[in-house]
Amino acid sequence: MEKTHADASPLRLHELSLEQLPSDTRRVLEGIDRVLVYSIPMRVRFRGIDVREGLLFHGEEGWGECAPFWDYDPQESAVWLASALEAARIASPRPRRSRVPLNVTIPVIAADAARQRILDAPQWMSAKVKVADARSDLERDCRRVEAVAEALAERHGASARVRVDANGAWDRESALTWIARLNRAAGAVGGLEYVEQPCMAVEDLAWVRRKQDVPIAADESIRRAEDPLKVARLEAADVAVIKVAPLGGGRAVSRLVEELPMPVVISSALETSFGLDYAARVACALDQEPRACGLGTVNLLAADTALTPALIDGGCMIPSELSLNEALVSKAPIDSSLIQSWAERLTEMAHYHEKKRHVPITSSSARHH
């Protein structure tokens, strides 16, 4: 179960004292002059959580965000730390495009509410619908997908796209049944663009892909795998869903994308605007142009750490200079439990970051403009 420190406050944003961290941790954070911890309630329960927590790091290049979910152990979480430090200390790579198209993410809500979200935001031409949640069932998932598909078709006709995300919830046989039903539910837009992570095991993804015609996308099988290229070797997916922070940052993602023989979608790990903007910068710098990216998720949070949110215009995200909402720092009563738990977690992440001997990321020689 996701660990949280929730109360009635809409947002808590506290300074974490660098001086009080162990010397080994401070060494890993060389070049970082501020660390903040945040806690933000979700507007709708998502990925099984009601509150999003994480860390922000400020360095020469701005803010980096580290927000591993609590089901990530310290060793896995250290990769998120590497991404945040890279964002804060190394200039973004040269962009190949100025913006990236987005999909809107539809959480597990009623079909009528899902339809209204599409109608209220006409810029969205693509939607990702969460399915296979414990709070739902196949019939309600189909109604939600149908409502989204019909609303998108009304707005955009043949250009509209609907994709679904099962987060590895199904076994092989269940996946075949659910995919067929959900694909029919998306008939207003010609069926599903793809099904993201229908099963958890890569071997099961490959089996499902061979047994039916709806394209398969891999997320957890890449993001949490010891060998993210196994998906390609087993021909288990048609699309790779790439989340920047869990894969270690922009440079690691760029290397991985070069080796994956399939289109990619850069997606959110449910960050605040600082993490989303960094992911958009990574997407803008890739050699291949990504499909509609899953970065339009800041509206799932009840508040944001940035003074103004990541810039979205015409259904696209445009990387921009973001500033911390300083007025919110420590405005709420200090939550010593929140600060202590994240200080301890940071120390654990820093230990594994050092142990893995990541490429040094403090040198200006690593930058390229």
**Residue positions annotated with a catalytic role:** 130, 243
Half-sphere exposure of residue 199: CA atoms within 13 angstroms, side-chain side:
20
Tally the C-alpha atoms within 13 A of residue 368's C-alpha that lie toward its C-beta.
Answer: 6
Residue whose token pair is 């360095």: 59
Residues 6+ apart with CB under 8 A from 97: 284, 289
Structure tokens at 206: 């490959």
* Tokens at 196, concatenated: 């993201």
- The structure tokens listed for 143 are 């109604």
Residues with Cβ within 8 Å of 121's Cβ and at least 6 positions away in sequence, in order, are: 104
d(CA 28, CA 26): 5
Amino acid identity, residue 23? S
Two tokens, residue 342: 């994240």
CA distance 13 to 53: 10
Output the six-digit token pair for 238. 């048609």
What is the spatial distance between Cα 367 and Cα 369, in angstroms, rounded to a whole number?
7
